[in-house]
Structure 1
Amino acid sequence: MSAPLPASPHGHPELAVAWVLHGLEPDEAALFAVHLAECPACRRIVAETEEVTTLLGSAVEPVDPPTSLRDRILAEAAPADDGEASLLASVDSKAPSSEGVVPLRRPERGGWIRRTTALLAVAAVLALVVAVGVLIAANRSLAEQRDAAAAEAARGAEVTQVMDAASQPGVPHAVLATPQGEFVGLVVDRGHGPEMLASGLAPNDPDHTYVLWGLAGGTPVGLTAFGMSGSGPVVQSVPSVEAAGPFAGFAVSLEPGHTVPATPTQVVASGRTAG
């Protein structure tokens, strides 16, 4: 590998894993280090591989190597035996003496073993990276589903609380209905400011928003803007505003833009306060 690595949206997994495991030749490692600085995909693979190797290292309990291991290593590194040495000397003595002839050299012991071991380790860690990636994706999917279910349950609890409060004697509330009498929501004050429950309103497009209005002395007061991505229900607290006395009623309008205007444009629902 002498030319610069080509860019790839998926990176170079084999080289990235081998780089983490120190399985590349020095020139390969140098070129890959340059490529790594410019390749987000390879940096991601390197980070995932380092995470996997860390997990593997912490998952295995360290043990002392057997005493025979030292003897085996020394035997592997020892010079060739007398028969092999004699054969090499005989071949060297018969080779022509010439400056253009390269003398026969005995292959380095363990070189191909180290290379093969590194390649096998790369393949094993690649498989682990893929497996761990699948598990991480599955865990994220389960977490997202769990969070969505929890959010749905919390919203359901809020809806139940607002509905229950509206049915209690003495709790101020207003039933919001369209001019055709269709129920689209509630506004309830449980003692800490108005809360709105919207349900049944048509989803607004990106260029419009809904606005809740409080009616005080016949003058509408813009309270809050809200959106409907579906039919609901949506529970939203209403910011406190200064008004002359409690609101006698509430209304909902559909407005262009995303802010509360000075006066309502298109009123789609309203209701008087009771309780």
Structure 2
Amino acid sequence: MTGRSLTDHDVDLEAYALGLLDPEEAVVVAQHLEACALCRNELHRIEETLGWLGTAVRPVEPPPTLRNRVLVEADPGDRRRWRLAWAWGGLAAAALLLLGVLLLAVTRLERRLDEFASQQERIAAVLARADWSTVVQGEGAGFPPEVGRIYVDRGGRDGLLVLGGLERPEAGRVYQVWLLRADGSRVDAGVFLPDRAGSALLLIEAPDDWTRYRGMGITVEPGPQGSTEPTGQRIAGCNWDWSAWARS
């Protein structure tokens, strides 16, 4: 089961290491790092790389006796040239560090653009195949009667959940989607956090065809990875009866 929104390793580690994330994003990444050894190792590697960039051009301090002798023997013009050379060395080191930071930022941006384009293609494909949809009803206190809609292809396994009007959960919590089987068991369908406007979009890949499920629910669970089974308050959901929706 995969739900593309906040996956185990889908974090901006380069941006986190560079301090480019806003506070809310940084908190989410920090919570993920607490539970993910793989990402902690990757962050350590990135921080080592940044440290290397900062020392890649290291000025070598000459022995004090040599420096004093040169200063005594050199005329004022030579001194200015010598100081200028040291200044250019410092500028070169700073330029190299800046170049490294820019390269990391460009790489991050390119990756995000590729991921965005890929997600848009998947969304378009799911909507093109979808032959059924239903309203997701708000159930928790403070939630509107309707919080979104789910689109599915009854003969397939892909689905698209579009939500709005959601409040941000408490710090350290996420929303988790569950698919309900006919026997009452629940299957994890992914976790997500809404944006500042209260909107969220989640691509769902069910382990079985959608006709094997009779509904969906959303609960509040510990972040960033959610729970193996529902433990928190259910804030939204929907039920369906496939027998009433026979294919035409």
Normalised TM-score (structure 1): 0.47
Counterpart of 2:152 in structure 1 is 188
Counterpart of 2:74 in structure 1 is 112
Secondary structure (helix, strand or coil) at the match of 1:259 reads: coil
Matched, 1:269 2:233: no
Secondary structure (helix, strand or coil) at the match of 1:178 reads: strand
Matched, 1:131 2:99: no
Counterpart of 1:47 in structure 2 is 56
Tell me by how many angstroms 1:49 deviates: 4.4
Secondary structure (helix, strand or coil) at the match of 2:212 reads: coil
Counterpart of 1:223 in structure 2 is 188
Counterpart of 2:35 in structure 1 is none
Counterpart of 1:255 in structure 2 is 220
Tell me by how many angstroms 1:266 deviates: 2.0
Shift of the 199–161 alpha-carbon distance from structure 1 to 2, 3 Å rule, reads farther
Q: Give the Cα–Cα distance (whole angstroms) in 2 for the partners of residues 166 and 248 of structure 1.
A: 16
Q: Which structure carries more strand by proportion?
A: 2
CA deviations over 1:36-77 (Å, ceiling 9, x no partner): xxxxx9976432448xxxxxxxxxxxxxxxxxxxxxxxxxxx
Instruction: Give 5+ residue unaligned stretches, structure 1.
Output: 1-40, 51-106, 168-172
Shift of the 43–133 alpha-carbon distance from structure 1 to 2, 3 Å rule, reads closer
Identity %: 12
Counterpart of 1:177 in structure 2 is 136
Secondary structure (helix, strand or coil) at the match of 2:152 reads: strand
Matched, 1:152 2:116: yes
Counterpart of 2:204 in structure 1 is 236
Secondary structure (helix, strand or coil) at the match of 1:124 reads: helix
Runs of 4+ in 1 over 6 A off after TM superposition: none
Tell me by how many angstroms 1:270 deviates: 1.0
Normalised TM-score (structure 2): 0.51
State whether residues 174 and 193 of structure 2, in contact with CA within 8 Å, keep that contact through their aligned partners in structure 1.
Answer: no
CA deviations over 1:114-156 (Å, ceiling 9, x no partner): x846543221121222233334333433333333333222222
Q: Higher RCO, 1 or 2 (CA under 8 Å, sep at least 6)?
A: 2
State whether residues 181 and 213 of structure 2, in contact with CA within 8 Å, keep that contact through their aligned partners in structure 1.
Answer: yes
Between the two proteins, the alignment pairs up a number of residues equal to 170
State whether residues 251 and 269 of structure 1, in contact with CA within 8 Å, keep that contact through their aligned partners in structure 2.
Answer: yes
Amino acid at match of 1:222: V
Q: Give the Cα–Cα distance (whole angstroms) in 1 for the partners of residues 238 and 106 of structure 2.
A: 41
Larger Rg: 1
Shift of the 247–42 alpha-carbon distance from structure 1 to 2, 3 Å rule, reads closer
Amino acid at match of 1:123: A
Shifted more, 122-131 versus 201-210: the winner is: 201-210
Secondary structure (helix, strand or coil) at the match of 1:197 reads: strand
